[in-house]
């Protein structure tokens, strides 16, 4: 069967395209504003037409011409319009944030291309933004274009990703024949949703089905075959430390004979002193009081549970952020006195090892942290293909 066609807007480094390609889509067209992320996308998707630049400056005629399809022929338009204005962690969430209005540009592309299906991903915080008016606007605009639409909050751990990450997923179909579905959980991973007002949108695992699911993918499942490094190490390519120990490692190592992007940020002397007191699965609570940052000396013991955390090899990783900074989560390596490397962060996100990230170390961490986990995207993509087959 021929691959389904895909256009990926606000593509970043290409996590969504990577996963959808695993599912059976062929990315024909992508758009990305950031030049370093665009370079990474281009490197890993050389056969995709990449429109680098501000989508507001790309005309409908250029979109159609570069895609090479007539309106209505594209199978899937996908994208994650910038979410900083929606994030629960953002200091202010406002409809007036310019980044939020890039949704209008996504809708303009949908009206121009008239794809058979639409996929929008974003942070859980989008649900409550403007007291729900952003979600209402997405529904209203897609309904105006003739789509039926549904949305859920999906937990990446349910699809084999070793990470505490939730994403809001909107799926729309230009058909009345197929019912909109979301991929059912495949792995028995659990996490407490740290957002309010949207728990009913999460997919739960019923006790009856829990034993039928695969065991969750753990931190150690993800990284145990990678070589030890130190922050001074500058090699671009490194050999694997061991043979793959599990199916997850076999899957991510396919097509790769060496490790790239396996470098990490240096720690300050004070953070190294703090780290030596933190056991696996521990956090800032294990640091002697006199070594704590001033803010955490004033904190309640129930606050900031993941800060200065050392990863539990048998658990899940904190949500990978644009900075693997110990002040914001559990990003200390479980057995080495350092933060996780870019490649280890990419492993937590389920990027294949053959996926190379360009730019400075800081830019590489940013690209990985901003990405959609490919295995999550793959599960969604397979479900969309099944729905398209019913149309």
- Active-site positions read 83
Among 21, 29, 25, 67, which residue's Cα sits nearest to residue 50? 29
CA 172 – CA 147 distance, rounded (Å): 6
Say if residue 142 is exposed, middle or buried (CB neighbours under 10 Å; 0-12, 13-18, 19+).
Answer: buried
- Cβ contacts of residue 326 below 8 Å, gap of 6+? 267, 271, 274, 275, 307, 308, 309, 332, 339
Pairing of strands 166-173, 117-122: antiparallel
Question: For the CA atoms of 100, 105, 106, 112, what is the dihedral angle to 10 degrees?
Answer: 160
CA 101 – CA 55 distance, rounded (Å): 12
Q: Are 122 and 372 in contact (CB under 8 A)?
A: no
CA 160 – CA 27 distance, rounded (Å): 23
- Cβ contacts of residue 268 below 8 Å, gap of 6+? none
């Amino acid at each position: 069967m021929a691959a389904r066609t895909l256009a990926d807007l606000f593509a970043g480094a290409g996590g969504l395209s990577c996963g959808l390609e695993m599912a059976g889509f062929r990315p024909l067209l992508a758009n990305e504003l950031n030049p370093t992320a665009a370079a990474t996308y281009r490197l890993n998707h050389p056969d995709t037409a990449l429109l680098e630049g501000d989508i507001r400056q790309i005309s409908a005629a250029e979109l159609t011409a570069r895609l090479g399809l007539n309106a209505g022929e594209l199978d899937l338009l996908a994208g994650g319009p910038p979410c900083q204005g929606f994030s629960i962690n953002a200091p202010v969430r406002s409809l007036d944030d310019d980044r939020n209005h890039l949704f209008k540009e996504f809708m303009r592309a949908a009206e121009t291309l008239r794809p058979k299906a639409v996929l929008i991903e974003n942070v859980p915080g989008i649900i409550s933004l403007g007291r729900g008016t952003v979600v209402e606007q997405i529904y209203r605009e897609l309904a105006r274009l003739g789509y039926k639409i549904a949305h859920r909050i999906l937990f990446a751990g349910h699809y084999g990703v070793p990470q505490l990450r939730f994403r809001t997923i909107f799926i729309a179909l230009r058909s009345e024949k197929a019912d909109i579905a979301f991929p059912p959980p495949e792995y028995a991973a659990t996490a407490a949703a740290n957002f309010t007002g949207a728990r009913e949108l999460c997919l739960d695992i019923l006790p009856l089905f829990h034993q039928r699911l695969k065991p969750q993918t753990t931190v150690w499942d993800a990284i145990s075959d990678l070589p030890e490094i130190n922050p001074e190490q500058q090699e671009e390519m490194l050999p694997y430390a061991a043979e793959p120990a599990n199916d997850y490692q076999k899957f991510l190592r396919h097509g790769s004979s060496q490790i790239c992007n396996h470098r990490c940020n240096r720690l300050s002397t004070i953070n190294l002193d703090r780290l030596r007191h933190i056991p696996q699965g521990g956090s800032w609570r294990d640091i002697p009081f006199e070594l704590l940052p001033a803010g955490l000396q004033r904190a309640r013991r129930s606050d900031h549970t993941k800060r200065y955390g050392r990863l539990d090899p048998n658990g899940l990783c904190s949500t990978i952020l644009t900075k693997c900074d110990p002040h914001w989560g559990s990003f200390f390596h479980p057995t080495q006195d350092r933060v996780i490397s870019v490649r280890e962060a990419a492993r937590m996100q389920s990027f294949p090892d053959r996926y190379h990230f360009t730019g400075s170390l800081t830019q590489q961490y940013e690209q990985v942290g901003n990405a959609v986990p490919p295995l999550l995207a793959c599960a969604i993509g397979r479900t969309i293909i099944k729905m398209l087959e019913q149309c």
